[in-house]
Structure 1
């Protein structure tokens, strides 16, 4: 029997394999180059963060005299801070009626960012003498250690006998505002909550939202009331105009009827 002839591999297949290998090699080289470029971008980002931090530290110092002047002016307005808190949608949801009564003695709120901004901040609440606690100042501060681990601590509240709001359940609020009628923790529980300092939304809201411009929240209710009055006035005007218009139409119809009857009388005559 004749030996079968050897079947040679198609040349096209070899070329195809070589092309795939070349494409893989080029792709790998591109990935390595992208990685090098990305390292350069990351290096510039770190450099930018350091520069931004220096700028923030500079302007934090420049803002301090204005914060002090603003606090002096706010002190002339009764219930400024409790009004701002009540008008803030997120903080309002955390307040029950007794919290609001206690916060009426709040005279000053102050946010202090540490010199190394990345290491944390402190919020101070200043109070007039009141029937709830002995403290003149209650503070809560947030820290990030060198490894980025967050932690918090606060001033122990010296509650007066029978006035510890953190041990009471909420009661229905005044003014008909909607509240969760189930037992609600007091706003003051926040001072003793150190479970997850890295996810403390209330601290972030006060530092980043209210503190930069508390006036907008103090005025929020007035703006809403003014807007409501305008709408009411417009609505009343519309109704009055509509009534006047309907009255004029009725009078017009009466005049036309009178004229028609007069004409008929003349014709009959």
Structure 2
């Protein structure tokens, strides 16, 4: 969705169940995920069981010690790599910005693009262009690229599945999407800028992802934006009329209920990890895994 290099960022929940059921705190939860990822990737091959090491001959123990020294050198290089990688991404994010600004200006009709060949056109060509323009005044007055972001988002397979027909009308007012890296805490922020519209009063909807940055970023938390829906325009809820019959009566009294419905705008209300982990069942944990993985995949 955003202009960034984190689109392929991995997301690991191998330790979620044990971390939650063990009542771990947020930082312990993240540490558990990190250790699982490192073990799976074979990053630290020297953390061998004590019983195994004690059973080794002196010669083999010496080899293990040398492996540890190699691992230490590897870790130092990896740390430098991550530092340089972050600096390189920050450098190019600045270089990309003028391009994003030009795109914004063209999409929103702030800057007009000269027609191809306009500089070399003859008086006769100019006359034809003028006639066509006069015949189609409405299109001539149309600025920028209408519905640019809606079309761009629907061109993405993952996002297309999230966008409903009702969402499309609201997303036509989307005029820009900005991606920003953040350092405290580490992660990135997505900002969706909207023109004044009949659906909500927010001019900007934000989504922040806080991640633990290793080779593959690991999601720690996601923070959305509360959408200030205008009266009767909420796209994330629908009213359902149900009838409840009184005991001993054939008459049913209609009851109005509000239920959550599918919408892209649910993206700004991300799933949360409950504070009371001990009360979470296995099925609830699995559902939470799926929701958070899907949420991060969209971002």
Q: Indicate yes or no: 2:153 matched with 1:85.
A: yes
How far apart, CA to CA, are the structure 1 residues paired with 2:234 and 2:69? 59
Q: How many correspondences in the alignment?
A: 169
TM-score (norm 2): 0.50
Question: C-alpha root-mean-square deviation of aligned residues, in Å?
Answer: 2.9
How far apart, CA to CA, are the structure 2 residues paired with 1:55 and 1:118? 19
Q: Which of these residues, 153, 166, 170, is aligned with residue 223 of structure 2?
A: 153
**Cα 1:81–1:69 shift into 2, 3 Å:** same
Corresponding residue for residue 201 of structure 2: 134
Offset at residue 25 of structure 1 (A): 2.8
Corresponding residue for residue 173 of structure 2: 105
Give ranges in structure 2 of 5+ residues lacking alignment.
1-55, 109-143, 240-259, 274-287
- Residue deviations 1:4-46 (CA, integer Å, cap 9, x gap): xxxxxxxxxxxxxxxxxxx933222111111111111111111
| More strand as a share of residues | 2
Offset at residue 52 of structure 1 (A): 1.7
Offset at residue 118 of structure 1 (A): 6.9
TM-score (norm 1): 0.55
* Rg (Cα) greater in structure: 1
**Cα 1:80–1:91 shift into 2, 3 Å:** same
Is the 2:104–2:175 Cα contact (8 Å) retained in structure 1?
A: no
Offset at residue 168 of structure 1 (A): 2.3
Q: Which of these residues, 166, 187, 203, is aligned with residue 120 of structure 1?
A: 187
Corresponding residue for residue 44 of structure 1: 77
How far apart, CA to CA, are the structure 2 residues paired with 1:118 and 1:141? 10
How far apart, CA to CA, are the structure 1 residues paired with 2:294 and 2:107? 25
Q: Indicate yes or no: 2:255 matched with 1:185.
A: no
Q: Indicate yes or no: 2:232 matched with 1:162.
A: yes
How far apart, CA to CA, are the structure 1 residues paired with 2:205 and 2:297? 17
Q: Which has the higher contact order (CA 8 A, sep 6+)?
A: 2
Corresponding residue for residue 68 of structure 1: 101
Partner-residue secondary structure (3-state), 1:90: helix
**Cα 1:202–1:81 shift into 2, 3 Å:** farther
Runs of 4+, deviation exceeding 6 Å: none
Is the 1:124–1:140 Cα contact (8 Å) retained in structure 2?
A: yes
The aligned runs of 1:12-27 (5 Å cut-off) are 24-27=57-60
- Residue deviations 1:30-76 (CA, integer Å, cap 9, x gap): 11111111111111111111122222222222221221112212221
Partner-residue secondary structure (3-state), 1:193: coil
How far apart, CA to CA, are the structure 1 residues paired with 2:62 and 2:199? 70
